[in-house]
Amino acid sequence: MTHKILIVDDEPNIVMSIEFLLKKEGFATETAGDGELALDKVRSFLPDLVLLDVMMPKKSGFEVCEILRADTTMKQPRIIMLTAKGRETEQAKGLALGADAYMLKPFSTKDLVAKIREILAAC
């Protein structure tokens, strides 16, 4: 079955590459440019996994993550947080708030795909 992935980032340039990459790898993708759109898309698109940027307008990745994890009525997607913030306390916070993995930009696209497959396989 085709896994559905939601790409959330306010930088269209990276969204373009990731979308191209994941489509080529055979995933179904959707994108969102900010935290609020991301919440809407999660509820309509029901992704298996969300690639979530931390620094975004309207709602940060941390907030989106907390809200998703707090909503017990829905099927919980896996979450990989993507961030340009290098501080380790923030990584710890992301994981504590319910993210499954945390990737620091810049990352290799191969590693990203590997991480996605690893997490989806663990379902």
Partner 1 sequence: MFLRDLTAKWRFVLAVAVLGMLMTGPFLLTSVLIWLGASTGMREVLVQHLLPQVPLGGVLTATGFVLGLMLIRRLFNRYVTGMAAMVEELRLMLGSNRSFRITEDGPPELRELVRAINDLATQRDAYIDDVESQVAKAKANVEEEKNRLAALMSELAQAVVVCNLDGRILLYNNRARYMFESLAKGPTSVSSGALIGLGRSISSILETSQVDYARETIRIQLERGNRHPVANFVTTTDNGQLIRVQIAPVLRQRPESADVQVASGYILLIENITRVLEQESRRDAALGELTEGSRSSLGTLRAAVEMLADNPDMDAENRDRFVGVLASEVTRMSLRLDNTLTLLADTLRQHWPLDDMLAVDVIEAAGRRMHERLKLPVDVNTVTSDPLWIRADSFSLVSAITFLASKIEEAGEVRSFALRLDSGEKFVHIDLLWTGLSMSTETVLSWEIEPMRQDHGVNPPTLREVLDRHAGEIWYQRQGPTAQASIRLLLPKATPEQDTVNVANRAASSERPEYYDFDLFDRPMGHVDLDQPLSNLVYTVFDTETTGLEPANGDEIIQIGALRILNGRLLHQEHFDQLVDPRCHLKAASVAIHGITDSMLLGQPTIDLVLPAFHDFCADTVLVGHNVAFDMRFLELKEASLGLRFDQPVLDTLLLSAVAHPNQQSHSLEAIMQRLGIQMGQRHNALADATATAQIFMRLLPALAEQGIVTLRQALEASQKTYFAQVKY
- CA 1 to chain CA centroid, nearest Å: 20
d(CA 37, CA 28): 18
Binding pattern for the stretch 9-38 against partner 1, x by CB under 8 A and - elsewhere:
--x-xx-xxx-xx--x--------------
**Of 31-39, 41-49, 66-74, 114-122: span binding partner 1 (CB under 8 A):** 66-74
Residue 55 makes contact with partner 1 by CB under 8 A: yes
Residue 110 makes contact with partner 1 by CB under 8 A: yes
**Of 6-14, 42-50, 72-80, 114-122: span binding partner 1 (CB under 8 A):** 6-14
Q: Which residues of 63-76 are buried (b: 16+ CB within 10 A; e: fewer)?
A: bbbeebeeeeeeee
